[in-house]
């Protein structure tokens, strides 16, 4: 049954159970620890109230392409930003990115890749596919929280998304 909150983050579930159409951030992350740190960091910067978390690429595409589960597609329902981990089970992050950026109705949604890899080839390929921003997750947990907070703040408070 499609997208949902990762079981590891039940503490967040009530607060974060939002309607698809109210989502500001779609977080696509299958690593439970990274997801928990990310959700917490967004909360700390006051940009974590309307986050929807899916744990694989299939779920991300299902959410974005608004299949039956989520009702009819409307541009205004798109998240203001998608935070996309590259290393996902099933459909890879780069595949999700390629899919999003190759279709007219989704290519305008800002996508930020979050990755622990410094591999140049992934970085360049992400930009070629049209990623909006590419952020390497710091290993140190304090720096990680700072970087994620900066990302959330920028894309919700500084950037002007399309259609909103």
- Site of interaction with its own copies (CB under 8 A): 104, 107-108, 110, 120, 123-124, 127-128, 130, 132-136, 147, 150-151, 153-154, 157-163
Q: Tokens at residue 49, please?
A: 């109230």
Cα–Cα distance list, 107 to 20, 22, 56, 111 (Å): 18, 19, 19, 9
Closest distance between its own copies and the C-beta of residue 47, in Å? 13
Closest distance between its own copies and the C-beta of residue 25, in Å? 15
Nearer to its own copies, 35 or 151 (CB): 151
Closest distance between its own copies and the C-beta of residue 150, in Å? 5
Nearer to its own copies, 68 or 160 (CB): 160
51 phi and psi angles, rounded to 5 deg = -110, 135
């Amino acid at each position: 049954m499609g997208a949902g909150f990762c079981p590891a983050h039940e503490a967040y579930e009530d607060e974060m159970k939002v309607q698809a159409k109210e989502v500001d951030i779609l977080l696509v992350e299958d690593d439970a620890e990274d997801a928990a740190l990310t959700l917490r960091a967004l909360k700390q910067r006051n940009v974590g109230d309307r986050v929807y978390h899916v744990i694989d690429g299939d779920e991300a595409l299902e959410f974005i392409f608004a299949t039956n589960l989520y009702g009819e597609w409307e541009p205004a329902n798109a998240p203001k930003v998608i935070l996309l981990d590259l290393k996902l089970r099933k459909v890879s992050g780069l595949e999700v990115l390629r899919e999003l950026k190759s279709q007219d109705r989704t290519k305008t949604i800002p996508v930020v890749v979050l990755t622990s890899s410094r591999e140049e080839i992934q970085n360049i390929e992400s930009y070629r596919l049209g990623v909006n921003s590419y952020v390497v997750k710091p290993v140190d947990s304090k720096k990680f929280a700072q970087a994620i907070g900066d990302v959330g703040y920028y894309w919700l408070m500084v950037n002007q998304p399309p259609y909103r």
